[in-house]
Structure 1
């Protein structure tokens, strides 16, 4: 049933995952499991593969720079899931897996004879992870659901951006990623349950619900007080000082000194200790009510200092502060280097490819990036041969007929 664990292979090295679907939400869940050692067999359409092979804002020599990250540590196997023979191969692979991940529209897997009831007939301990826009039930379940729609429905779009402007979005696919993270949590909980009971189950992760889960006290605030959170730009209402401030050399620094004791430290550094005992600023509530004037006072002080000496002074004084990082800053930062937050991975076309490392860090069974995203169908012979016992002639015939 499971992949053989080897020393140092990761905490999940005894798990075999079959990943179906494409783009980001389902594949990112599988990436997280693979980062910690799970054997991930990714099924892709013959000839084209996952569209993520072409996606990404920038490319290098015509190659996607997103694919090597989201498909890292995976085995690529081609399989035409719209073909009955491809569906049969998928069922045979899943029969030898612990987990299957899919992010198709609800009902698609059932039409292909790959619904959970069918799959668990040959594998009663199977855990099926289903990531969709709206979940497997409810009136919206049949709808196409992209991450951006889930972000809008879950509330994060309405509350992101500047007051008086249209709702904004973050510069990443946060809805898909959150659904994948919650799917991963659900998967690990289901694995724990199976270890105790021998019972598999379905993990149903919806994008809009993953976003909703991050919305703090938005719902009770509205239900009990009628307060609707609005877009507030770079600050949170009534949390001050916590903003981005200018410096003499044109940089911007973020200072978060909204706690009473930390605010007192900041006022000492500003040579304005009287502000910490001033009735207008001495409490969290008072500072929140005078956020704008307090930000003006701090901006006038930071504008008289260059960024680096200012940050050194703040850090020495115990005030949380930092610059707004770009990718260039991350590569240059010694803390990133000391923590090995960026790992460099060999790639056959791109050479040494930097990417974010595996997080979080485990002290005994750490995850690692074993290889970048593979070529399409790179593991056909190995997977179909080792797991299903197919020989070269059988594989050639399946390829000729477009099944793999």
Structure 2
């Protein structure tokens, strides 16, 4: 497909066209990731119901919220009402010229509109439909609405966070949505590869609760074979030592991860206590795990009289893995992130100025991704462009659709 991008800014997915129907986090995040890698992402919003993400985020100017800048970047925005027959027909015309559709409605919504996968595939056999929902498209809970916070809870993910005997807190992000969006992109890319062999698309079915479960490492086999119900462990992992937060003399927090034998020996040398590395209580991984509390206390006492400004450098120079606990104010000035173009400008048309945001991950050597534009300032910004370019609908035809409330 023709992605419609300038040749100087093409990425690995140049030529792939994506129709994004999602709202809020998971669907738009998946669309953002594909757009970062060069796909032509066309975000579709209902004429009377713009994506609520336009009003999310803490920083705003004259009602314009800058969260939108991050997740709507590299997208063209059009309006289209999928609830009416004329809108459904226009959508199918767009599907005929696209490669991927992303949606995160409650299961059954597309089918109720007459836009299920069978209908889409009839119009375009190569279409890949990525569906992100709370519990997936099948199963007894498929019809339930799902949000990231609940998905994190029911998957067991939230139970692992925080401190023992305290209510399990959430991280101050919609992490379940982000994981769902990432797995959706993984599925889309796999489906596009498979299409090269089969010529046909398929459905990518991502459940938020399953995305949260998929990153939980050994919790299931630990329970299945050991009867162990992994629980929260505060600032450390049980049995992995030393790997914890320690407070410096000036009250800053530093993470020291020296649980590997050789790295632990280097830490002991920096501490001026090389004999600890040979002490039977700390000599190997298992012993350090058993005596984790004692070891953490020893390291905490040493760190407590160190200055944070020099401690990390001393440890790093000695080959010990360590780093400060940065705030976003530190992050945006981090020389490593700046060198890697991970703090980048998004030109925001709404305010006529640049807004800093996160760069593109991963870094590709031959076809790198890029931030080519910030989010469209208003719903339907690209109506005239997209409907003329892809469907050949002239100004008069678009005016008719607009008057009827279709676009």
TM-score range relative to shorter protein:
over 0.9
Q: Conserved in 2, the CA contact under 8 Å of 1:160 and 1:167?
A: yes
> 2: CA distance between counterparts of 1:25 and 1:260?
40
TM-score, length of structure 1 as denominator length = 0.98
1:31 maps to which residue?
32
Aligned twin of 2:11: 10
1:184 aligned partner:
185
CA-atom RMSD in angstroms: 1.1
**Separation in structure 1 between the aligned mates of residue 88 and residue 143 of structure 2, nearest angstrom:** 22
Q: Deviation per CA, 1:146-189, whole angstroms, max 9, x where unpaired?
A: 11111112211011011110111111111011011011001000
**What is the match of residue 249 of structure 2?**
248
Q: How does 1:90-109 map to 2 (within 5 A)?
A: 90-109=91-110
User: Helix, strand or coil for the counterpart of 1:355?
Assistant: strand
Give yes or no for contact 2:9–2:372 (8 Å, CA) kept in 1: no
Retained in 2: the 8 A contact 1:2–1:98? no
Distance 2:346 2:228 in 1: 49
What secondary structure, in the 3-state scheme, does the structure 2 residue paired with 1:30 have? helix
Structure 1 partner of 2:403 = 400
Q: How many positions carry a matched residue from both structures? A: 404
Q: Could you tell me how far apart the structure 2 residues matched to 1:40 and 1:239 are? A: 43
Q: Deviations over 1:323-365 (max 9, x none)?
A: 1111110122211111111101211233111000011100000
CA contact (8 A) 1:19 1:27 kept: yes
Asked if structure 1 preserves the Cα contact closer than 8 Å seen for 2:9 and 2:370, the reply is no
Query: Cα distance, 1:388 vs. partner?
Result: 1.1
Structure 1 segment 361-380 matched on structure 2, within 5 A: 361-375=363-377, 376-380=379-383
Corresponding residue number in structure 1 for 2:270:
269
Which ranges of structure 2 fall in alignment gaps of 5 or more residues? none
CA shift at 1:4, angstroms? 5.6
Q: Structure 1: 5+ residue runs without aligned partners?
A: none
Q: What is the deviation of 1:7?
A: 5.2
Deviations along 1:32-54, whole A, 9 cap, x unmatched?
Answer: 00001100111101144111001
Shift of 1:8: 4.2
Matched ranges for 1:4-403 at <5 A: 6=7, 8-350=9-351, 351-375=353-377, 376-403=379-406
Tell me, what secondary structure is at the counterpart of 2:319?
coil
Distance in 2, Cα, partners of 1:10 & 1:105? 32
Which 10-residue stretch deviates more, 44-53 or 188-197? 44-53
8 Å contact kept, 1:8–1:365: no
User: What is the distance in 2 between the residues matched to 1:223 and 1:312?
Assistant: 43
TM-score by length of 2: 0.97
| Per-residue deviation, 1:58 | 2.8
- Alignment check: 8 A CA contact 1:46 1:402 kept: yes
After superposition, the C-alpha distances for 1:289-339 in whole angstroms (9 at most, x for unaligned) are: 111111111111111111011111101101011111111101222111111
Alpha-carbon distance in structure 1 between the residues aligned to 2:33 and 2:393: 30
Runs of 4+ more than 4 Å apart: none
- Between 44-53 and 115-124, report the one with greater CA deviation: 44-53
CA deviation vs aligned residue, 1:108-158 (integer Å, no higher than 9, x gap): 001101100011111111111111111110000001011111111221101
Alpha carbons 2:242, 2:258 under 8 Å: kept: yes
SS at match of 1:158: helix
CA distance in 2, matches of 1:232, 1:250: 22
Q: 1:136 to 1:218 in 2, by over 3 A?
A: same
Please say if residues 267 and 276 of structure 1, whose CA atoms lie closer than 8 Å, have aligned partners that are also in contact.
Answer: yes
User: 2:44 aligns to what SS in structure 1?
Assistant: strand
Question: In the superposition, relative to structure 1, how do residues 370 and 7 fare at CA in structure 2: closer, same or farther (>3 Å)?
Answer: closer
SS at match of 1:343: strand
C-alpha distance in structure 1 between counterparts of 2:94 and 2:56, whole Å: 28
